[in-house]
Structure 1
Amino acid sequence: MIAEIIATGDEIRTGALVDSNSAYIADRLEALGIDVLRHDTIGDNIDLLSALFQEVGGRADIAVVTGGLGPTIDDLTTEAAARAADVQLALDEVALQDILRFFEKRHRTMTDSNRKQAMLPVASQRIDNPVGTAPGFSMRIGGCVFFCLPGVPPEMKRMLSESVLPKCRKLLGRTREASCIQTISTFGLPESTTGERLEGFGDRFPDIKLGLRAKFPEIQIRLYGRHVDEETLSNHMREAADWVREKIGHRVFSSEGEPMAAVIGRLLGDRQATLAVAESCTGGLISHWLTNVAGSSGYFLLGAVTYANTSKMSVLGVSTETLDRYGAVHEHTVREMADGVRRRSGATYGIATSGIAGPDGGTPDKPVGTVCIGISTPEGSEGSRFFFPFGKRQMNKQMFAMSALDLLRRKLMAADT
């Protein structure tokens, strides 16, 4: 079954807003075993919209359209769909009552413009919006079933999950093949090197597609499998994932698409261990990532942003002699930082970062992109130095933070061997 996705609106077309909806929808449709062959972005022009709808109606089985269902004059999706199908608009009384209740609950008066949102194409099926005012609708144009949804992401996601995807499953019916998508997350290899290591995958696993996706600072390897027999597919996917992990080695940090911080949390939890973090150049980014994971209070004890040298001394106990002799960005300094935060928090492990994120502040010996990372464990502490030639401050901070967590991950895993 073939699907296309259409994102509407001048704000999307001109780049004023980034279209995250289409990627989200494509991922969900592909997981069902529906091939998404094309994405279109189109502005607020009813002639172009209706022509595109007719074009897609002649070549796709399913189309998901986002945007253009609001109450203003530039919201044209409903009218364009009706024109493409050569039908009229009619007032949907249930939709109108839903909109009225939406405003009544908020002690507001519905405007006449909102009444427009209850006008749906004749013979379409309403898709209720439990979040906002704009109902969606489904209808057939040519040989294609169109699902028209609001462009507001929380509204779109809820309606997609509760209404559209169940209908797509029914459309697949008995012809549905078993499908599976697996994300293997890696860190530390460039995309080109990762691709080179995976050469020959297609010959070895002809029924599984492999794709690389740069999601800075990690590289994701996506496996897309489909087969008439679910057990056969499961075996093939397992063999393919094992082959990928063998080729990429310790650079794989998750076989389930987990963020690095979630992997760290699981490793610490399995060992009943705790963590404290001292950050200078990363400015709290590591702590931010760690606390994005639900349940992190069970293992994350302390995060300290010790940006100034005085803070490194007063909060972490870094010696004046170390800072005077080596400076803030040095292996000895981050060792003392990691030891200090571990000692003061009582954590099992401590990690620390100090570096030069840029765009200035570098020297010939310590250019922009230099970072030192310290790890303190019950067995001792160590400091390491790395250089990442990205230049941009935000990218450097992300690389520094990810590198610190990856060093800890490998330390935790090595302790088991």
Structure 2
Amino acid sequence: MKKVRSGWAACNPVVRLSFAGPMLAQMPNSAGPQPANPRAEVIATGSELLSGKTVDTNSAHIARALQGIGIGLCAVTLAGDDELLIAAAMDRALARSDVVIVTGGLGPTVDDKTRMAAGWAVGQPLQLQPALLAQIEARFARMGRPMSANNQQQAFIPAGALAIENPVGTAPCFAVERGRSVLIALPGVPRELFYLLEHAVLPWLAARFPALGAIHARVLHVAGLGESVVDAKVADLERLANPVVGLTTHAGVVDLHITARAANAATAAALVADVERTARERLGAAVFGADGTSLATVALEHIAAAGHAAACVEQGTGGELGRRLAAARSGAFRGGALLPEAAAGADTNALLDEALAHCARMFAAPLALACVLHATADALQLGVALQLPAPAAAQRFVRSMPLPSTHAAEWGANLALNLLRGQST
């Protein structure tokens, strides 16, 4: 692998990469040994991420990828297409974290600010890298397209940076050090980002931090208990240093996150398993699953084991409950229907009775599930009901929710599914 030295870069070699060898070589590390438990941050650039119309999914993918090699993500920053704002975000991140991954802003247009911002943040001018320019030209040639003059600016990276070839896109990437920290600039296009993470960045980071050890994570899903109740039952676990235990809540479901770090994967998994066992003992049947398990899948498995099947009728929910049940792909779900919006001032219990009766008429299922949502003058009324085989009475739950409530339909679906799995709400 050829190293090119000129000017300032004589003591900070620029490594021109090709796929004939490793995509990334170890950069010089004049600042001494690296920490055993490095901190990482992500800076996601692009004004579209601040518009509310484009969701930053890249950062979640990066977090999972870093966790897989034992690096924890401590912060995510969104920055619009403003060079000074991006540079300031980089400066702060480099001051407090060991690894800073920046996504987006490497294209050829005027709103692609990452290269210049990185130069400001690390205190180095941009330099043209002929090898990168040749890679860009070759890619356009392979595509049979002319290269615009503004594409040349993509071959400029901060002096002393390590160039990262991008074989699946036109935007070259780079890594550059400031002290003990490293800033890695990657494309915002998910396909390119994922490829470069897997084939270049993760192997290089694993080599840079040889004492990483392993991280193991588990998420327990809880329904039928409020966040404050769950918190009271596991408060001492939340104070542990390792594993780290935390709660998140969304529309009637509480997630309990358990994350452990250890010298190897087996030890980390054992630490998590010990805390999980304690949490399950305290929370009991309210824990309906872990990791990718869905409440709909668990509910349908529960009734299928009893030899039953269910159907649902909804009103005012947009079909949220039916979609969740259908997504579980179980023969225990016989179908769903959506009734017209309720009239103003309607009685919630009467609406539930009507929905259950409609379900019984439409579907040959021993269990009928109803979920209704309608507005009053100052609140939303949410009702769920489950009709068991005769002569059992229907189980129901009615509550008021403040206006506006963007997650009311999700709340209703979760309450209904928890009824279906046989748990009290």
Same fold (TM over 0.5): yes
How many pairs align? Answer: 379
SS in 1 for 2:261: strand
Q: Which residue of 2 aligns with 1:72?
A: 109
The 1:217–1:385 alpha-carbon spacing in structure 2 relative to 1, beyond 3 Å, is closer
Whether the aligned pair in 1 keeps the contact of 2:70 and 2:214 (CA below 8 Å) is: yes
The 1:276–1:4 alpha-carbon spacing in structure 2 relative to 1, beyond 3 Å, is same
C-alpha RMSD over aligned residues:
3.6
How far is the alpha carbon of 1:237 from its aligned partner? 1.3
Q: State the alpha-carbon separation in 2 of the partners of residues 395 and 44 from structure 1.
A: 31
Q: Which residue of 1 aligns with 2:268?
A: 233
Q: Deviations over 1:353-397 (max 9, x none)?
A: 2x3332x378xxxx7323132344598662413214243353222
Q: Deviations over 1:268-304 (max 9, x none)?
A: 67678654322223231112223445xx165544222
Q: Which of 386, 391, 397 is equivalent to 2:409?
A: 397
Q: Which residue of 1 aligns with 2:324?
A: 289
Whether the aligned pair in 2 keeps the contact of 1:335 and 1:383 (CA below 8 Å) is: no
How far is the alpha carbon of 1:94 from its aligned partner? 2.2
The 1:151–1:230 alpha-carbon spacing in structure 2 relative to 1, beyond 3 Å, is closer
Q: Which of 392, 398, 415 is equivalent to 1:386?
A: 398
The 1:399–1:119 alpha-carbon spacing in structure 2 relative to 1, beyond 3 Å, is same
Q: Which of 163, 168, 176 is equivalent to 2:212?
A: 176
Whether the aligned pair in 2 keeps the contact of 1:375 and 1:408 (CA below 8 Å) is: no
Q: Which residue of 2 aligns with 1:150?
A: 187
* Structure 2 residue 45 is matched with structure 1 residue 8: yes
Q: Which of 394, 409, 413 is equivalent to 2:421?
A: 409
Which has the bigger relative contact order, CA under 8 A and spacing at least 6?
A: 2
Q: Deviations over 1:305-346 (max 9, x none)?
A: 13369xxxxxxxxxxxxxxx9887355434423433441xxx
Whether the aligned pair in 2 keeps the contact of 1:372 and 1:386 (CA below 8 Å) is: yes
How far is the alpha carbon of 1:85 from its aligned partner? 5.7
Residue 225 of structure 1 aligns to which amino acid in structure 2?
Answer: A
Q: State the alpha-carbon separation in 2 of the partners of residues 209 and 57 from structure 1.
A: 25
Q: Which residue of 1 aligns with 2:138?
A: 97
Q: State the alpha-carbon separation in 1 of the partners of residues 307 and 128 from structure 2.
A: 62
* Structure 2 residue 164 is matched with structure 1 residue 126: yes
Q: Structure 1: give runs of 5+ residues left out of the alignment.
A: 310-324
Residue 304 of structure 1 aligns to which amino acid in structure 2?
Answer: A
Residue 124 of structure 1 aligns to which amino acid in structure 2?
Answer: L
Whether the aligned pair in 2 keeps the contact of 1:278 and 1:341 (CA below 8 Å) is: no
Q: State the alpha-carbon separation in 2 of the partners of residues 265 and 393 from structure 1.
A: 27
* Bigger proportion of residues as helix: 1
Q: State the alpha-carbon separation in 2 of the partners of residues 184 and 327 from structure 1.
A: 33
Superposed counterparts of 1:313-324, under 5 Å: none
* Structure 2 residue 374 is matched with structure 1 residue 337: no
Q: State the alpha-carbon separation in 2 of the partners of residues 291 and 163 from structure 1.
A: 40
SS in 2 for 1:38: strand
Q: State the alpha-carbon separation in 2 of the partners of residues 161 and 266 from structure 1.
A: 36
Q: What is the TM-score when the length of structure 2 is the normalising length?
A: 0.75
How far is the alpha carbon of 1:76 from its aligned partner? 1.4
Q: Which residue of 2 aligns with 1:221?
A: 256
Fraction of identical pairs, as percent:
26
Q: State the alpha-carbon separation in 2 of the partners of residues 179 and 286 from structure 1.
A: 35
SS in 2 for 1:134: coil
How far is the alpha carbon of 1:147 from its aligned partner? 2.0
Q: Which residue of 1 aligns with 2:127?
A: 88
Residue 333 of structure 1 aligns to which amino acid in structure 2?
Answer: E
Q: State the alpha-carbon separation in 2 of the partners of residues 329 and 361 from structure 1.
A: 18
The 1:391–1:57 alpha-carbon spacing in structure 2 relative to 1, beyond 3 Å, is closer
Residue 179 of structure 1 aligns to which amino acid in structure 2?
Answer: I
Q: State the alpha-carbon separation in 1 of the partners of residues 280 and 324 from structure 2.
A: 25
Q: State the alpha-carbon separation in 2 of the partners of residues 118 and 266 from structure 1.
A: 56
Whether the aligned pair in 2 keeps the contact of 1:331 and 1:374 (CA below 8 Å) is: no
Q: Which of 165, 182, 187 is equivalent to 2:223?
A: 187
Q: Structure 2: give runs of 5+ residues left out of the alignment.
A: 1-37
